[in-house]
Structure 1
Amino acid sequence: MPYRKWVPLAAAAAALGALAAPQAAYTVPRPDGLRLDGVGACDFPMKEQFEGRPWPLQRVLLDELWQDTRGKGIRVAVIDTGVDDTNPQLRDAVDTSAGIDYTGGGGSDGTVDEVGHGTKVAGIIAARPRTGTGFVGLAPEATVIPIRQNDGRRNGLDSAMAAAIDHAIAKGAQVINISQDTTRPLADDSLLGRAVARAVAEDVVVVAAAGNDGMDGRRRTTYPAGFDGVLAVAASDRNNERAPFSQAGEFVGIAAPGVDIVSTVPGDGQCTDNGTSFAAPYVAGVVALMRAKYPDWTAAQIIARIEQTAERSVNGRDAFVGWGVVDPVRALSGDDAPQDAPHPDAPAAGARAPEPARLTMSETSRQRSKRYATYALASAAVLVGVVAGAATVARDLRRRRVQRHR
């Protein structure tokens, strides 16, 4: 099977496996619960780590990306299953004093992660460099605020999510990553809707996963990604196409790598996973870098730059990858003039619309018959000439023989 077709199918199979048993408990059965997107089977701690550079980072010139900043001083709240700070790549990245646990178990500072989901999310954002591995977070000097709000089994309520958002604001978060979703319609004046609105009003960039229910092709809005002011992130594959599981909808703002994503796990080591859960922190890492480079820009201007500089398959926005696949280097290498909203690319100066090719009609049957008749007449004329010539030669030869015999 061609490689281009194999990758989306593999991603789809992995995503389905992640959503099926034995991880079925990760789908919170309660009506006000939020699901974790992309919880794959992964044993931890891991004794091994990936030596090479993971494919999403191979596309980024890290030296160029980090030319101005690595995210130092930027605080990113990870509202998830907790962030384990014993992994060497996260040990210096997590602010345990600002953490909190809303699940009612495992401690109080948000650093217990029995599922591994939140630790993966945090690693994509801010994992520190480590000898022996090419994996590193996109903003390796940013600070993570660990907020445990979902244990992947029985908790994950939108009421706890609202409290977690308010806690993140109180602890000075400039970026909030939420890799959870619910398809239950939530109004702007719902408990969670009001909390998101408070974060947006405080100029916090809220990044949320779009969800993993896209296999059926239906467009639907998930929350909190669907609230106004939130940057909703879909998952893309190695071909910059929407991962088959990624939820489509008009609310999608941008896409980012979400297939075969390497990141940190509790204790030690790394593993791979699939889902919009891991596309969202990829974008959150870019946001952290931009908040450090452009401290005077508003949250809306940061979002607009990321969407405007995305790698697009269409000139504008669509329901599958939003404004396109995030391009970290372009987002940080533009001019210092902010914009308030993205827009379709303008045509190049002096560009002319393509002219239609001139088409000629094929010959009619009458024209073809005429052409054949011409060929026949020409052939007949040549044949007559040949016969006449041969007759003349033969006559001359007879005359010469007669004269010799006289």
Structure 2
Amino acid sequence: MHSQTRRRFLATTGITFGAIGSATTGATTSTERFVVDSTSVEDSSSVEVIHRLDPIGVSVVRASENAVDSIGAAYAADAGGTYDRPTAPAGVTGASADALADSASLYDYQWDKHSQQIETVHQRTRGEGTRVAIVDSGVAAGHPDLDGAVNAELSKNFTEDDYGAPGPYAGSHGTHVAGIVAADGDVLGSAPETELVDCRVFTPNDERGLFAFLGDVLAAVVYSAEIGCEAANLSLGAYLPRQELGSFWGKAMNRTTTYAAQQGTVLAHAAGNTATDLQHDGPYVDTSMAARGLCVSSTGPVAFEPGAAPDEPFYTPAFYTNYGTNAIDLAAPGGNVTEDGDVYDGVLNCVADPEFDDDGEYLGATYGHDWFQGTSMAAPQVASAVALLASVDAQDNANRRMSTLRRVADVPATHDKPFYGSGYLDTLAAIDD
């Protein structure tokens, strides 16, 4: 009954998932890019190696299928998806943010940080000595609230475009996610002393829209583990029918996640924003590779105002969040949307709106702050918690950190377990455990 109510709400509000911090909204398989079960592939006139992923024994190549077949190794077509630029409802940017700050600090509107008691957490740790990869649309290292947070030397562009990294080249999504982790200015991140690495997998100005290949995501995860990230955040939220990917994809993803875990990197994944029961609604495969990481659903208040109790608490499942008894590991603050579009129920953090000329040349970005909603905003709350745990106990490993987060989380008595997995994220309890 509850899920039917949620779906009716989706149908009647007319809200699109691009407007609530979602990620992939469609998918396609490539006829010229393939993931091959070999690292001995060489560049030739018929095969171009895009990524050679030695730790997992896989290469991503550009070639005809005949050329790939002649290699004599198992392979699968690379799969890709598009997403809309996230556009939050009537948010705070530029002068509007200054006007709001006259009566209250922006931190007063960060209910997500209040719910995690982040100011108390920061009395013990601010994430010092840790590193988090943001596998996303690009991070605006120049945003004032991210000043000094991004390691530009380690940041990397995994796409085939020429825009580089770091930078918000494919929209504000990655910058907002990064701010949730490590902002330290007008808005606050959960782990403001952690080092961020921009691993960009989405490309702008593509005829398909804002586009990412899963082969690039595999490469970004492997790289994040290679450079010693305590966490990699994947606010991708994608899932595809199993038959569209084939069995080799499962093997490649399993190798990738196993390698990340062995290297001590926790993968935090957005569960997706289509109000789908991932346990029962279809034969889906989780393309965000959450099987060995933490798959995160989204919660948010209803009718939040600073200094007042909301109509529904912070741990209320968001109407759009995906769920599922064995699919979700944790729930975390991702933002809600009321029927009248109350912006304060979203998650407030950094934005960077990129600008391009008619030829696609990047002209710069406009920096500000805004509210987004989505499991994309929930996952980095968990990635931040992993970094904070690593900061207080560098000798711990990825599995124990995930176990700690699960153990201290509780499922609210008034809500259903399929929305929470082990429970609602409790960052302070994890640090004190």
> Residues of 2 paired with 1:316 and 1:306: CA distance?
19
In structure 2, the CA distance between the partners of 1:90 and 1:316, relative to structure 1 (3 Å rule), is: same
What are the residue-to-residue correspondences of 1:146-295 with 2, within 5 Å? 146-151=198-203, 153-184=209-240, 185=242, 189-214=250-275, 219=281, 223-225=286-288, 227-238=290-301, 239=313, 240-249=315-324, 250-259=326-335, 260-266=346-352, 267-295=366-394
How many Å apart are 1:321 and its aligned residue? Answer: 1.2
What's the CA shift string for 1:348-382, capped at 9, x where partnerless? Answer: xxxxxxxxxxxxxxxxxxxxxxxxxxxxxxxxxxx
Letter in structure 2 aligned against 1:288: A
Identity over the aligned pairs, expressed in percent?
25
Give yes or no for contact 2:88–2:370 (8 Å, CA) kept in 1. Answer: no
Matched pairs, number: 323
Tell me the alpha carbon deviations over residues 283-333 of structure 1, each in whole angstroms, 9 at most, x when there is no partner.
111111001111111111111111111132259993211111101111111
Alpha-carbon distance between aligned partners in 1 of 2:277 and 2:407, rounded to the nearest angstrom: 29
Q: Which residue, 76, 79, 93 being the options, matches 1:46?
A: 93
Report the 3-state secondary structure (helix = DSSP H, G, I; strand = E; otherwise coil) of the residue aligned with 1:30.
strand
Q: Is the 8 A contact 2:24 2:238 kept in 1?
A: no
Matching residue's letter, 1:204:
T
Label 1:269 to 1:11 Cα distance change in 2 as closer, same or farther (>3 A).
farther
- Amino acid of the structure 2 residue aligned with 1:158: L
> Secondary structure in 2 aligned to 1:97?
coil
Once structures 1 and 2 are overlaid, which stretch shifts more, 62-71 or 81-90?
A: 62-71
Q: Which residue of 1 aligns with 2:163?
A: 107
> Partner of 2:141: helix, strand, or coil?
coil
Give me the whole-angstrom Cα distance separating, in 2, the residues matched to 1:99 and 1:319: 36
Q: How does 1:7-406 map to 2 (within 5 A)?
A: 17-19=15-17, 27-31=25-29, 32-34=79-81, 39-41=86-88, 46-47=93-94, 48-49=96-97, 51-52=105-106, 53=108, 54-128=110-184, 130=185, 133=186, 135-151=187-203, 153-184=209-240, 185=242, 189-214=250-275, 219=281, 223-225=286-288, 227-238=290-301, 239=313, 240-249=315-324, 250-259=326-335, 260-266=346-352, 267-314=366-413, 318-334=417-433
TM-score, length-scaled by structure 1: 0.71
- 5+ long unaligned stretches in structure 2: 1-5, 30-78, 302-312, 336-345, 353-365
Superimposed CA distance per residue, residues 14-60 of structure 1 (whole angstroms, 9 cap, x where no aligned partner):
99624269999963442422465993347999304363321112224
Greater Cα offset, 192-201 or 202-211: 192-201
SS at match of 1:155: strand
Q: Give the structure 2 partner of residue 393 of structure 1.
A: none
**Deviation of residue 66 (structure 1)?**
1.3
- Preserved CA contact (<8 Å) 2:19 2:88: no
Cα distance between partner residues in 1 of 2:202 and 2:216 = 9
Take 2:181 and 2:12, find their aligned partners in 1: how far apart are those partners?
22
Greater Cα offset, 225-234 or 291-300? 225-234
Amino acid at match of 2:258: A
Contact in 2 for aligned 1:102/1:160 (Cα 8 Å): yes
Deviation (angstroms), 1:225 = 4.5
Q: Secondary structure at the match of 2:417?
A: coil
Deviates more, 1:180-189 or 1:203-212: 180-189
Preserved contact between residue 26 and residue 36 of structure 1 (Cα < 8 Å):
yes
Instruction: Work out the CA distance in 2 between the residues paired with 1:42 and 1:82.
Output: 21
Q: Name the CA distance, whole Å, in 2 between partners of 1:59 and 1:101.
A: 34
User: 1:233 Cα deviation (Å)?
Assistant: 0.3
User: Which stretch of the first structure deviates more once superposed, 138-147 or 292-301?
Assistant: 292-301
TM-score by length of 2: 0.67
**Would you tell me which structure has more strand in proportion to its own residues?**
2
For 2:381, give the aligned amino acid: Y
Quick one: distance in 2 between partners of 1:172 and 1:26?
A: 27
SS of match in other structure, 1:83: coil
Larger helix proportion, structure 1 or 2? 1
- Partner-residue secondary structure (3-state), 1:147: strand
Give the match for residue 390 of structure 1. none
Q: Contact (CA 8 Å) 1:15, 1:274: kept in 2 or not?
A: no
Deviations 1:141-162 (A, max 9, x none): 0011001101362531111111
Shift in alpha-carbon separation, 1:227–1:30, aligned structure 2, 3 A:
same
What is the CA–CA distance in structure 1 between the aligned matches of 2:234 and 2:428, rounded to whole Å? 23
Which residue type is aligned with residue 200 of structure 2? R
Q: Are the equivalent residues in 2 in contact too, given 1:193–1:224 (CA < 8 A)?
A: no
CA distance in 2, matches of 1:323, 1:25: 24
CA RMSD, Structure 1 to Structure 2 (Å):
3.3
Q: Which residue of 1 aligns with 2:49?
A: none
Change (3 A) 1:139 1:24: closer
Contact 2:150 2:195 in 1 (8 A): yes
Using the alignment, how far apart are the partners of 2:389 and 2:12 within structure 1?
A: 32
